[in-house]
Amino acid sequence: MAKVFCIANQKGGVGKTTTTVNLAAGLAKVGQRVLMIDLDPQGNATMGSGVDKRKLEMTVYDVLLESASIAEAKTHAEKCGYDVLGASRDLAGAEVELVGVERREMRLKQALAQAGQDYDFVLIDCPPSLSMLTLNGLCAANGVIVPMQCEYFALEGLTDLVNTIKQVHANLNKDLAIIGLLRVMFDPRITLQQQVSEQLKAHFGDKVFNSVIPRNVRLAEAPSYGLPGVVFDPAAKGSSAYLEFAEEMVQRIKTM
Ligand code: ADP
Ligand code: MG
């Protein structure tokens, strides 16, 4: 059965999508069977995997509304080496359409009960909010990967996320744990970033991943080619950092 991870942080622009697609591609490169689920109505992870969200016949929306299974709604991202359960605009409506539905936060978990057997890893790219969509992700997951920039307010934002995860753990999903904090867009020349990084390690210990993702323009360019950086330019500094992170994750799940 696949290990399921949410890539979550309620802040926007912190590197969730970049982490999701590059980790997916990195895991695929080392032979893991990966499903990437895009839970953000913006569909950036879908497009960033070379799947055109405007041309999708079925998306994660159909899975949440139980009109399709994951096996029916997924597509294969050829160049990236992993499967994609895509998202498009209509996903924004799912929240409203699920109001009043019983156990609506469990829809994704239920869908994964079947599809999970086909994969080693399922990675879920969450929207920048603690919404019903994110809640579906958290209820379906074994763990949360939190990408964060080492900035002053980063620690403050973490408190809300940690509290949400604690509540979901207590009430809805006993499996859920923070797997780790991933330092992204890191620039070691900036003293503040080093300080925040040290604070993170002091506070969260081995919950901070060893891998550190540097700020690297190749990672930012890759989405416009419909590719994760790891596929677009494997030799770039940012790409090799994500490959290292993929290997760290493979080791991590052995102890889970
Ligand atoms: P989120 O999904 O949390 O909103 P994104 O992954 O979309 O964040 O990243 C926000 C922006 O930062 C994007 O333009 C992305 O290309 C860029 N970016 C992400 N990680 C890096 C990095 N390590 N180096 C340079 N740019 C990055
Ligand atoms: Mg995103």
Judge if the beta carbon of residue 187 lies within 6 A of ligand 1: no
Check whether 155 has a pLDDT greater than 90.
no
Q: Which of 18, 22, 151, 181 to mutate to test the pocket of ligand 1 (most atoms within 8 A of CB)?
A: 18
Q: Where are the alpha helices (DSSP H) in 30-127?
A: 44-47, 60-64, 70-73, 91-97, 107-115
Contact 98, 107 (CB under 8 A): yes
Catalogue the E-assigned strands of the chain.
3-7, 34-38, 75-77, 82-85, 121-125, 143-148, 177-186, 208-214
At residue 177, what are phi and psi to the nearest 5 degrees? -145, 155
Once rounded to an integer, what is the mean pLDDT over residues 127-154?
94
Query: b/e map of 106-130 (b: 16 or more CB within 10 Å)?
Result: bbbbebbeebbeebbbbbbbbbbeb
Q: Per residue in 59-73, pLDDT tens? A: 999 999 999 999 999
Q: Per residue in 12-61, pLDDT tens? A: 999 999 999 999 999 999 999 999 999 999 999 999 999 999 999 999 99
Distance 18 CA to ligand 2 centre (A): 7
**Residue 202 banded pLDDT, cuts 50, 70, 90:** very high
Contact 256, 3 (CB under 8 A): yes
Check whether 235 has a pLDDT greater than 90.
yes
Q: Which ligand is nearest to the CA of 184?
A: 1
Once rounded to an integer, what is the mean pLDDT over residues 114-141?
96
Cα maximum dimension of the chain: 51
Distance 41 CA to ligand 2 centre (A): 9
Check whether 191 has a pLDDT greater than 90.
yes
Check whether 156 has a pLDDT greater than 90.
no
**Mean pLDDT taken over the chain:** 96
Which is it for strands 121-125 and 3-7: parallel, antiparallel or unpaired?
A: parallel
Superfamily of domain 3-255: P-loop containing nucleotide triphosphate hydrolases (3.40.50.300)
**Residue 99 banded pLDDT, cuts 50, 70, 90:** confident
pLDDT of residue 32: 98
Query: Whose C-alpha lies nearest to ligand 1, atom 11?
Result: 13
Atom of ligand 1 nearest to the CA of 214: 23
Contact 68, 107 (CB under 8 A): no
Q: Which ligand is nearest to the CA of 224?
A: 1
Atom of ligand 1 nearest to the CA of 9: 3
Query: Whose C-alpha lies nearest to ligand 1, atom 21?
Result: 185
Domain boundaries, the chain: 3-255
